[in-house]
A and B are shown apart, each in its own frame.
Chain A
Amino acid sequence: MSAKIVIGLDGSGSGERAVAYARKQAKLIGDCELIAVYVIEWSPYSFQTPEENEERHKRRNEEIAAAESRIVSPAVKKLKGDGFSARGIVKHGHVADLLNSVAVEEGADQIVVARSSDGGLASRVFGTSTANLVMTAAVPVTVVG
């Protein structure tokens, strides 16, 4: 039975560090599938205008397509090109919750995420998500510095 590692991507350098670490792990394990997950932050409890609601389905598809083409597909393609077994998943929701639920559903052995070293709000948010994940995950989590 092969091992599985879930990698949290965030479209920045820190996500790439997580990928680099997961590759190392996968090499050591041998028979290991890498699952690259990108989560689009979204809450069902936000407030929206009627126009936003009308276009939501279209926007959602655009968001998924953009995340796949810009972040997930290139990462998966590179992993596959280097001989790893890999696939990608894009989801909307809460980052920590979803990385955990994907790992549980897939029966993954661990989750690899990076602690963002960049400044700015987005990385702060990602940093918080990492902390949340560590606190709530049902699967071992490795945080790459």
Chain B
Amino acid sequence: MKKLTLTTLALMAAGSTTALAQETRTIDQAVNETFATVTGPFVNFIFSPLPGTSFPWIVMWLVVAASVFTIYFGFIQVRGFRHSIQLVKGDYSDPNDAGEVSHFQALTTALSGTVGLGNIAGVAVAVGIGGPGATFWMILAGLLGMASKFTECTLGVKYRNEYEDGTVSGGPMYYMSKGFAERGLPGGKILAVVFAIFCILGALGGGNMFQANQAHAQISGILGDYPGWITGIVFAIVVYAVIVGGIKSIANVTEKVVPFMGVLYVGTALIILLVNFDRIGWAFGQIFEGAFTGLGIAGGFVGALIQGFKRAAFSNEAGVGSAAIAHSAVRTKEPITEGLVSLLEPFIDTVVICTMTALVITISGLLIVDPATGNFVLDGNSIKTVGDVSGVSLTSAAFATGFSWFPYVLAIAVVLFAFSTMISWSYYGLKAWTYLFGEGKTAELVFKVIFCIFVVIGASASLGPVIDFSDAAIFAMAVINITALYFLMPIVKREMNSYMSRLKSGEIKRFKH
């Protein structure tokens, strides 16, 4: 009340705008502090280090899982890569199934949920803290993660629910409950429920708040500083119009524009790299040297490794289980084919797009190096940058060194990427929500309204607590999902061996198109 009176008085005064700015900043701060306090214990647990080290157990968990799947399936990401591309091209699609969801469509739908801010802002965070060396670990994690994605998406299709009206619902919740029952294992239902809870948190965190936060950072970088909740409310209204109001035209336009934005982003990065052709060798040198020495960053080589692995997992979501929801709608008689197609996702997302961003940031020279030692100059935990930029602003500034107009294009791209990721994650969250509370208009509406409220919170909070909570929620999904994958991987292996032998014998035929 006191604050309100002060604001009213200030509004009447001549310097009303300054006072309003201060007042709104207080709202942002209040949201930020409350948010950090509430989510703190959960975040601390997820990122607690292995005893006696500074290495978070969760990162180890993801990398070990990806390595286990890679070995268990005999380097399927290498063996199956060519066949994956043939499947996406439709070489093995039955022409009689035309009109159903194609492998290409399932892949691009899943990609539109993952390609986005993780590739632009997430990589900048990784490189800003972990140095160029983080890129090396990010690529490695991306390559290994292809096997995790293969495992979860095969199961997603195999155990999806197909309803009488022809619609489908799939995802980890379904393979946990049905797959465990099929193998005679207990606890599948419990895992499914816990996963669904974390999936809802992940949808609100990484799939929502992080997106809103970085979209605001990008817009305010261009329009000038203004309170985050304003962006939040505008975004929330548009998201509400799509997911509650059913205004499909907005989603449709976004789905069609986003791929072009992706191509434009990679194209611009390629041009910047081509122009700086002579520095690419040096940049890779920095990446390799930094990967094993850290080049003076906080935490040394382990710091680079942690950042690289963390951001790769956050960006491509391998092992998290979200992709299993997106991929499960494909029309195929062979679940393994969707697993093979899905392994392209971490490749495109992390190995190609994230690496582009990292190379452009490294080449831009925005990371300040001490000429005497060749090491990076630190500012707290992160590397000092020209113009003191971090997150998406760092990527924007790095691209601006090549094309001064690029921040404007990037701002549009970020807003669209953020929006399409939010729409995808609102769907993943909703699937988890309806799994818990049953399908029904009221239950769905409650989730959708909560989702929109979190858009506002995400845009108002500062980057640190938002990133921490987003990561923690998404990694919590991975804890449950990967546990289930370990138990269910023999099923995937059986499917894989059967499919591969039939492919080799010619029983599975290539269709002429």
Chain A interface main SS type? helix
Within 8 A of B (CB), among A57-95: 57-58, 60-61, 63-64, 91-93
Which single residue of chain B is at the shortest CB-CB distance from A64? B99
Whether A49 pairs with B99 at a CB distance below 8 angstroms is: no
Whether A42 pairs with B99 at a CB distance below 8 angstroms is: yes
User: Taking A44-B104, A57-B166 as contacts, is the C-beta distance between A93 and B424 under 8 angstroms?
Assistant: no
Which single residue of chain B is at the shortest CB-CB distance from A45? B104
Question: When the two chains form the complex, which single residue of B99, B166, B256, B427 contacts A51, counting CB atoms closer than 8 Å?
Answer: B427
For the complex, give the distance between the alpha carbons of A36 and B79 in Å: 45
Question: With a CB–CB cut-off of 8 A, which chain A residues contact B252?
Answer: 49
**Total cross-chain contacts (CB, 8 A):** 85
Whether A49 pairs with B101 at a CB distance below 8 angstroms is: no
A65 to chain B, nearest CB (A): 11
Question: With a CB–CB cut-off of 8 A, which chain B residues contact A42?
Answer: 98-99
Which single residue of chain A is at the shortest CB-CB distance from B246? A51
Contact with A along B240-266 (1 / 0, CB 8 A): 000000001001100110110000000
Whether A57 pairs with B100 at a CB distance below 8 angstroms is: yes
Question: With a CB–CB cut-off of 8 A, which chain A residues contact B112?
Answer: 47
**Chain B interface residue count, Cβ-Cβ cutoff 8 angstroms:** 37
For the complex, give the distance between the alpha carbons of A56 and B428 in Å: 17
Chain B interface main SS type? helix
For the complex, give the distance between the alpha carbons of A133 and B251 in Å: 34
User: Taking A54-B168, A57-B167, A57-B331 as contacts, is the C-beta distance between A48 and B101 under 8 angstroms?
Assistant: yes
Whether A60 pairs with B100 at a CB distance below 8 angstroms is: yes
Which single residue of chain A is at the shortest CB-CB distance from B256? A47
Whether A44 pairs with B90 at a CB distance below 8 angstroms is: yes
Whether B329 pairs with A53 at a CB distance below 8 angstroms is: yes
Question: When the two chains form the complex, which single residue of B95, B255, B259, B325 contacts A49, counting CB atoms closer than 8 Å?
Answer: B255
Whether A54 pairs with B98 at a CB distance below 8 angstroms is: no
A87 to chain B, nearest CB (A): 17
For the complex, give the distance between the alpha carbons of A91 and B94 in Å: 13
Counting CB contacts under 8 A, is B93 at the interface?
A: yes
Q: How large is the interface on A (under 10, 10 to 19, 20 to 34, 35 or more residues)?
A: 20 to 34
B156 to chain A, nearest CB (A): 12
A86 to chain B, nearest CB (A): 22
Which single residue of chain B is at the shortest CB-CB distance from A39? B98
User: Taking A54-B167, A54-B168 as contacts, is the C-beta distance between A47 and B105 under 8 angstroms?
Assistant: yes
A43 to chain B, nearest CB (A): 9
Which single residue of chain A is at the shortest CB-CB distance from B512? A101
Whether A54 pairs with B100 at a CB distance below 8 angstroms is: no
B125 to chain A, nearest CB (A): 27
Counting CB contacts under 8 A, is B176 at the interface?
A: no
Counting CB contacts under 8 A, is A40 at the interface?
A: yes
Interface residues in chain A, defined as those with a beta carbon under 8 Å from any beta carbon in chain B = 40, 42, 44-51, 53-58, 60-61, 63-64, 91-93, 101
The 8 closest A-B pairs by CB, nearest first: A92-B99, A58-B166, A44-B102, A53-B329, A92-B98, A50-B427, A57-B166, A60-B99
